[in-house]
């Protein structure tokens, strides 16, 4: 009996169809049944397009335009939500069931202060009075570990960081004490370091509030940290469901195993492919020397914001250099400087040993051909009004001078190269899926027969399975054609498995650079260590472990700040030396094999500290120089 009463939400043979032009329904959710008990977090997991969000939204009695419920029931405490009248639905939404969307930045009204937006729904529904709402909001801000909990409500959305805004949104959802919380990919758009902090806060607050939650995600390693039950969804059907231990430790269904394989393992030194020197030449393919770049201009002609300072990187022919760092560290700016889109203030970019002009319009077409930038968002990188054959044919025509049938043949070759059917030539970008668009984006870069490909977060917006396919493709291309890669990503595992060398960028400065095997075995620079420690591992209880470790505690919950003096990482560094690190720019330390560290600590100290950390993982011993 007591078990019966504990059931909060019951989804019973739910079917949702999409209406098509010919009037026939295409099933999106096919006969799904599961229950959510009070105090439990149920994770819906699957790749994009599997119907996770549609199921999640049905608990609010909502379907996206074009979709309709074809059958089944969604019962909240026995009451069928799908058959409620609009007035009861309005009372239900935000009060008993709250929804947390993926992008907090897009959810908040930029013109209204955070606090007002947080309180609006609860006060409007009459759940709380204005004073009660104020009090409870303050409590939730504190529980979610937001900075300045008493004053953060007076800020505007743009004045807090992305991770903080995500937590503020959680406060908004929880304010009305909802019975059920639906979280739709709440950490997907965040950096690894921010993700930990948000996950930890969510976990804590869900426990404290004794709320039930549906957590929608495509990332099993994230789900492993927060959920009690896991439901694996594929194409609108349940593939497998069970407790988190069952699914993580003993997956039964083949699809679940595939999802597990696609979760990137924690980055290690030995997961990369051996450095291939087949395509090596005397001169490196790409070299930057003391690049300084930024945005804006002050009265005295200097940069208003210096995003990159003194960047030296070298990319050998046929090599891949991974550039890692949190968002806002200047990774994309570096790619833009090399491509000429953002002219550098000073410093040189050398291609095959020849200096390139800084600005785009001074570069020769031949130089433009050799360096191709592949941008992050395939959705916006392809002109929606051009067909694929035009998108790919244009660079072929422009750079290689091919016309007519030769051009068509080259376009077909490119499509085959990125493993797409040749019929795609006649389609428009909007007729392609995200992964397919990214392949076209890649093919356009390759159409110019480039020597250096600058890949800016090319797989970050994709599913792990689709992303893996793209990585496999890139590896093949590298072997086949000998293109050099600058591979920008905040996903360390991908970089570790793809790159030969790694450059760790923090606040526009190189923190560490060198061969993957040297940088990651074990990571010695404090920032590299923080990044590696933050990559979620598919292990239950991982997040608690990380939160206990000193590295993470010191490093999370901070935004990247640029400083002109000293080491920019000082404010987050657990090993910082006051009066040295914050005053003097860190020296370059060479540890052999082209492995460079930029830190005031001696290499021997860092190595020792790192290896000790591995031995006594949970040590809270404070060791300061």
Partner 1 sequence: MGAGSMNITSENKTNAHVAVFEFEGRPAAPIKREVKISVPGKIAIAIVLFWVAMCFVGPLVAPYREADIVADQTFAPAGESCSPFRKGVCSFHLLGTDYLGRDVFSRVLYGSRTTMGISVAATLLAYVIGVTFGITAAIRGPKLDMVLSRINDVFISIPSIMLGLVVIAAVGTSIPILIVTAGAIYSTTVFRLSRAFAMDVMVTDFVEAARARGEGLWWMLYREILPNIVMPLATDFGIRLIYIVLFIASLSFLGLGVQPPVADWGGLVRENIQGIAYASWAPIAPALAISSLTISINLIVDEMSAKSGGKLAKSLLK
Q: Does 68 bind partner 1 (CB under 8 A)?
A: no
Kindly report the CA angle at 115 between 111 and 120, in degrees rounded to 5?
85
Smaller CB distance to partner 1: residue 162 or 395?
395
Q: Does 36 engage in binding with partner 1 (CB under 8 A)?
A: no
Instruction: Tell me: does residue 93 bind partner 1 (CB under 8 A).
Output: no
CA 556 to chain centre: 16
**Residue 515 binds partner 1 (CB under 8 A):** no
Please choose, from the candidates 79, 121, 122, 97, the residue with its C-alpha nearest in 3D space to the C-alpha of residue 211: 97
- Report if residue 18 touches partner 1, rule: CB under 8 A: yes
Give the residue among 503, 434, 423 at the shortest CA–CA distance from 464.
434
Least Å distance, CB 343 to partner 1, is 13
**Which part of the chain contacts partner 1 (CB under 8 A), choosing from 301-309, 372-380, 518-526, 537-545?**
372-380
Give least dist CB 466 to partner 1, A.
6
Nearer to partner 1, 385 or 621 (CB): 385
Identify the residue among 261, 283, 341, 584 touching partner 1 (CB under 8 A).
341
Q: Which C-beta is closer to partner 1: that of 93 or that of 444?
A: 444
Cβ atoms within 10 Å, residue 129: 11
Using rule CB under 8 A, residue 385 touches partner 1:
yes
The structure tokens listed for 299 are 């009265």
Which x/- pattern over 233-272 shows residues binding partner 1 (rule: CB under 8 A)?
-xx-xxxxx-----------xxx--x--------------
- Return d(Cα 221, Cα 123) in angstroms, integer: 37
**Which is nearer to partner 1, 114 or 262 (by Cβ)?**
262
- Segment 396-435, which members bind partner 1 (CB under 8 A)? 398-399, 419, 421, 427, 430-431, 433, 435
CB within 8 A of 434, min separation 6: which ones?
Answer: 48, 378, 379, 461, 462, 463, 466
Sorted by sequence, the CB contacts under 8 Å of residue 252 that are 6+ apart come out as 240, 242
Q: Between 161 and 376, whose beta carbon lies closer to partner 1?
A: 376
Contact 491, 531 (CB under 8 A): no
DSSP calls for 209-268? HT-EEEEEES-HHHHHHH-SEEEEEETTEEEEEEEHHHHHHS--SHHHHHHHHHSPPPP-
**Longest distance between any two alpha carbons in the chain, whole Å:** 79
Among 2, 4, 65, 622, binds partner 1 (CB under 8 A): 65
Q: In the block, which residue shows the tokens 């917006």?
A: 461
Residue 12 found at the interface with partner 1 (CB under 8 A): no
Q: Does 387 bind partner 1 (CB under 8 A)?
A: no
If the CB atoms of residues 225 and 372 are measured against partner 1, the closer one turns out to be 372
Instruction: Please state, in angstroms and rounded to a whole number, the distance separating the CA atoms of residues 236 and 27.
Output: 8
Which residues, 6+ apart, have CB-to-CB distance to 104 below 8 Å? 157, 162, 165, 166, 168, 169
Determine the Cα angle at 376 with ends 370 and 377, to 5°. Answer: 120
**Least Cβ distance, residue 565 to partner 1 (angstroms):** 33
Per CB under 8 A, does 469 bind partner 1? yes
Q: Environment class of residue 237 by beta-carbon count within 10 Å: exposed (0-12), middle (13-18) or buried (19+)? A: middle
Tokens representing residue 93 in the block: 């939404």
Residues 350-369 that bind partner 1 (CB under 8 A): 360-361, 363, 365, 368
Q: Is 340 in the site for partner 1 (CB under 8 A)?
A: yes
Q: Which stretch binds partner 1 (CB under 8 A): 172-180, 263-271, 381-389, 504-512?
A: 381-389
Kindly state whether residue 31 participates in binding partner 1, applying the rule CB under 8 A. yes
Residue 31 or 312: the one with the smaller Cβ distance to partner 1 is: 31
Q: Which is nearer to partner 1, 419 or 608 (CB)?
A: 419
11's tokens: 């989804």
**Residue closer to partner 1 (CB basis): 31 or 582:** 31
Q: Which residues bind partner 1 (CB under 8 A)?
A: 18, 20-21, 26, 30-34, 47, 49, 64-67, 234-235, 237-241, 253-255, 258, 339-341, 360-361, 363, 365, 368, 372-373, 375-377, 380-386, 394-395, 398-399, 419, 421, 427, 430-431, 433, 435-436, 444, 448, 465-466, 469, 472-473
């Amino acid at each position: 009996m007591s078990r019966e009463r504990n059931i909060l939400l019951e989804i019973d043979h739910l079917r949702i169809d999409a209406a098509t032009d010919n009037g026939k329904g295409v099933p999106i959710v096919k006969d799904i049944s599961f229950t959510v008990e009070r105090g439990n977090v149920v994770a819906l997991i699957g790749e994009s397009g599997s119907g996770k969000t549609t199921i999640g939204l049905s608990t609010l009695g909502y379907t996206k335009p074009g979709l309709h419920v074809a059958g089944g029931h969604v019962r909240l405490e026995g009451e069928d939500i799908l058959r409620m009248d609009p007035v009861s639905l309005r009372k239900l939404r935000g009060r008993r069931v709250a929804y947390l969307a993926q992008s907090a930045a897009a959810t908040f009204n930029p013109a209204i202060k955070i606090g007002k937006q947080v309180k609006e729904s609860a006060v409007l529904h009459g759940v709380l009075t204005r004073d009660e709402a104020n009090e409870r909001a303050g409590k939730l801000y504190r529980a979610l570990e937001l900075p300045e909990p008493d004053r953060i409500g007076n800020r505007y959305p743009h004045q807090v960081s992305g991770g903080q805004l995500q937590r503020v949104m959680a406060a908004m959802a929880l304010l009305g004490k909802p019975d059920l919380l639906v979280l739709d990919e709440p950490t997907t758009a965040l950096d690894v370091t921010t993700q930990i902090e948000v996950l930890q806060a969510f976990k804590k607050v869900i426990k404290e509030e004794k709320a039930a939650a549906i957590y929608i995600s495509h990332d099993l390693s994230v789900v492993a940290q927060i959920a009690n039950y896991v439901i694996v969804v594929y194409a609108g059907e349940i593939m497998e469901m069970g407790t988190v231990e069952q699914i993580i430790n003993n997956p039964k269904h083949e699809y679940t195993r595939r999802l597990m394989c696609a979760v990137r393992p924690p980055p290690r030194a030995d997961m990369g492919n051996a450095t291939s020197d087949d395509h090596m030449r005397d001169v490196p393919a790409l070299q930057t020397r003391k690049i300084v770049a930024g945005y804006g201009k002050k009265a005295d002609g200097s940069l208003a914001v210096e995003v990159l300072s003194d960047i030296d990187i070298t990319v050998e022919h046929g090599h891949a250099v991974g550039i890692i760092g949190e968002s806002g560290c200047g990774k994309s700016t570096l790619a833009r400087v090399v491509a000429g889109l953002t002219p550098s203030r000073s410093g040189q970019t050398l291609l095959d040993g020849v200096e390139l002009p800084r600005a785009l319009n001074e570069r020769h077409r031949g130089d433009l051909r050799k360096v191709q930038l592949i941008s992050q968002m395939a959705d916006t990188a392809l002109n929606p009004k051009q067909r694929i054959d035009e998108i790919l044919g244009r660079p072929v025509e422009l750079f290689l001078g091919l016309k007519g049938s030769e051009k068509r043949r080259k376009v077909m070759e490119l499509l085959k190269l990125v493993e797409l059917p040749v019929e795609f030539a006649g389609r428009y970008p909007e007729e392609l899926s995200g992964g397919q668009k990214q392949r076209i984006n890649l093919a356009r870069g390759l159409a110019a027969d480039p020597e250096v490909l600058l890949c800016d977060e090319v797989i970050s917006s994709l599913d792990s399975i689709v992303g893996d396919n793209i990585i496999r493709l890139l590896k093949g291309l590298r072997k086949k054609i000998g293109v050099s890669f600058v591979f920008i990503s905040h996903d360390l595992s991908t970089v570790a498995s793809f790159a030969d060398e790694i450059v760790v960028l923090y606040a526009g400065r190189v923190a560490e650079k060198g061969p993957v095997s040297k940088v990651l075995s074990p990571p010695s620079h404090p920032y590299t260590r923080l990044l590696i420690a933050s990559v979620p591992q598919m292990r239950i209880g991982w997040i608690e472990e990380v939160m206990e470790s000193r590295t993470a505690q010191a490093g999370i919950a901070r935004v990247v700040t640029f400083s002109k003096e000293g080491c920019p990482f000082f404010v987050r560094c657990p090993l910082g030396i006051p009066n040295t690190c914050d005053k003097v720019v860190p020296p370059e330390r060479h540890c052999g094999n082209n492995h460079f560290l930029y830190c005031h600590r001696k290499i021997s100290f860092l190595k020792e500290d790192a290896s000790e950390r591995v031995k006594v993982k949970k040590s809270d011993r404070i060791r300061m120089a």
